[in-house]
Each structure stands twice: as structure tokens, then as C-alpha cells.
Amino acid sequence: MLQLFGHPFSSYTQKALVALYETGQPFAFRWIGPDAPDGNDHGSEWLQRWPLRKFPILVDGERTVAETSVIVEYLQLAHPRAVTLLPADPLAALDVRFLDRFFDLHVMAPMQQAVDGALTRDPAKARDALDLAVPKLERAYAWLETHLAGRTWAAGEDFTLADCAAAPSLFYADWTHPIAEQYPRLRGYRARLLARPSFARAVEEARPFRSYFPLGAPDRD
């Protein structure tokens, strides 16, 4: 049985969960943190396996796989299912990998920058971090608005690794800096992601922990 170590409110854990739910791959979830519902915190084992203190990680027998993009690709290579998240065509797969990196680097990263500032509980640092994050998110939103023209999902008509990355990054980014009405395609895309059963499941599993969001979780989604 595959094991995924993470926390349900973690954006990167959600990215891996969406991939697992999409493919239907059986796995055991190993909860990291003292809020585990059964009181069983797997943090010690996680740190033994990955002392860099980043989650999620995937454990497959003796193999530990870190970094969510690599986890998703590993699932497709080592545990192929009927549903695939990377196209067989190499150039199409390259497009998907680019979009995956775009969401991680240009949406998730500035969102996390603002969150990290808020976590300091220092109003000046929180304000400065948000001021740095907002223009980065605006540039990403504007690019995505153009990119999404004529597309159902990030790379076209198929749900891929890129959408696994997009779902949690846009979910939390919109809480950090709301996607304005001037981006109707992006707003529609985010709504489609929220309606996708795999991500809807991840969102519901994380719902009890919304108080953890230091910028304040809005009363929606």
C-alpha cells in the first residue's frame, strides 16, 4: 500500500491528493501534525524519511518520493492506471510540465509569501509580504486569463498534472488576493476546479482547518 505523508490543509498535499483521487490509486494517508483525528501523528517517521521538513512525501515500499510534481509522475510510471495525468506525446507533456511549474512558481509561491508574512504576527512584515505578493499574482492572473481562452482545463480538454497544481494554488491565491471580475476565464476555471470531484473531496477534507489560514479564510468556497 502506498503511503502519503502530509496534512489535508496543505496546498501541496492537496495537489498530490487530487492526483491520487483522479487515478483511483489506493493509498494510506499518514497525517502529520498533532491535530490528527486518531491522535496518531506521523511526524517522526516523516522527518526520518525526509529531514528537509517538506511535505507531502510518497512512500512506496523502500522508496521515498518527494516533491509533488515528481510524485505525480512517479505514480504514472510506477503505478499506471486507466486515468493518466501526463500525455503520451512528449511535446504535449512538456506543455503540461511547464504549466505545472507556472502554477507552483507564479501562483503558489507568491501566495505562500503572503501567508508566511502573516504568520510572523508582525503587522509591518505581513503588510510588506502582501505588497510583494499582490503584483506577482496580478501578473499571473493576467497571463492565465489570456492562456485559458478556448480551454476547459489548463492544457486543453484533458485534466492533467497542470490542473492538480492549479487547483490548490488558485484556491488559496484567491483567498490571498481575490481574482477580479476582469478575469472571467480564470474565475470560471477556478470554479470548474472546485467542482471537480477529486478537488472537491480535498477541499471538504480540509474544511475543518480553515482557521489555520493566517490571512483569514473568506466565507465562501
Contact 85, 147 (CB under 8 A): no
Beta bridge partners of 57: 5, 66
pLDDT band with cut points at 50, 70 and 90 for residue 17: very high
Structure pTM?
Answer: 0.96
* Model pLDDT for residues 93-119, shown as the tens digit of each residue: 999 999 999 999 999 999 999 999 999
Other Cβ atoms closer than 10 A to 205: 15
pLDDT (0 to 100) of residue 8: 97
Integer CA distances (angstroms), 142 to 76, 155, 172, in order: 32, 17, 17
